[in-house]
Structure 1
Amino acid sequence: MKPITMKMHGYLDYATVLVFLLAPGLLGLEGLSALVSWVLAGVHLIVTLVTHFPLALYPWLPFRVHGWIEKSVGPVLVLIAFLPGFAASFAFYLFMGLLLVAVAWLTDYSEGPTRGLDASR
């Protein structure tokens, strides 16, 4: 059994949204680096709000699909860190990418329904 539960994962997702939202101001990210962070905050918020898990507002996206998205985004963030225009934000994107990869490894995405909604949300 993996240690991160669906509910704990939800809290981590909302914390991730805040980090991506606040990072440009707190870390001095500018230009494309800041824009990518804000877009990631928005996309991550939308995915979190619609994922079928305890902290969602409109739960319709299977948790397993949420996992596929995160398992894809983590490595992409690691790659983004190495792009020439992201030198000033290298540590931020590398850290966030590795963090998403770690959370993905530690979360059991098979937990919960795979399609449709149930009353036990």
Structure 2
Amino acid sequence: MTLLSPRHHGYIDYAAVALLALAPLALRFGAVPTSVCYVTALAHLVVTLLSDHPLGAARKIPFAVHGALEFSLGVGLLASPWLFGFSDEVPARAFFVVGGIGLLIVVLATRYTAGVISRPAPYDRYDR
């Protein structure tokens, strides 16, 4: 299932970073889930900015590696409530489980090899 182009995936990445950064305020998380959200948002932002896709800034990380990192981030989001001990906070637990599943769906729906075989150079600003 490859429905998302690298450009669309980039849009979703930045939206996920914003969602991770705003969720603790909107859903009134406790201290631990708030910290996990902010650290995850920062890590996801750095990976997105450094990835070789049309919306990446530095383009140092190959897009396929970006996909592997994002897969591990999705699994980490799913496990966070139990790993960090906030599984009794229902809004935070629900957010992390739904967010992890959503991120894994995005990973499965993205064409990480789009353009890799046909283009020897990284994407330029105009997706060429």
- Normalising by structure 1, what TM-score? 0.90
**Could you tell me which residue of structure 2 aligns to residue 59 of structure 1?**
59
Report the CA distance shift for 1:76/1:119 in structure 2 as closer, same or farther (over 3 A): closer
Identity of aligned residues (%): 34
**Could you tell me which residue of structure 1 aligns to residue 14 of structure 2?**
14
Report the CA distance shift for 1:119/1:4 in structure 2 as closer, same or farther (over 3 A): closer
* Residue segments in structure 2 that go unaligned for 5+ positions in a row: none
Amino acid at match of 1:101: L
The whole-number CA distance in structure 2 between the counterparts of 1:109 and 1:85 is: 33
Question: Aligned-pair distance for 1:119?
Answer: 5.6
Cα shift readout 1:61-113 (whole Å, capped 9, x = no counterpart): 10000000111111221122345324321100000000011001101112234
> 4+ runs of 1 displaced by more than 4 Å?
none
CA contact (8 A) 2:59 2:122 kept: no
Amino acid at match of 1:99: G
* Secondary structure of the corresponding residue to residue 86 of structure 2: helix
**Could you tell me which residue of structure 1 aligns to residue 36 of structure 2?**
36
**Could you tell me which residue of structure 2 aligns to residue 77 of structure 1?**
77
Amino acid at match of 1:40: T
CA contact (8 A) 1:33 1:86 kept: no
The whole-number CA distance in structure 1 between the counterparts of 2:75 and 2:122 is: 34
**How many aligned positions are there?**
119
RMSD of aligned Cα (Å): 1.8
CA contact (8 A) 2:52 2:123 kept: no
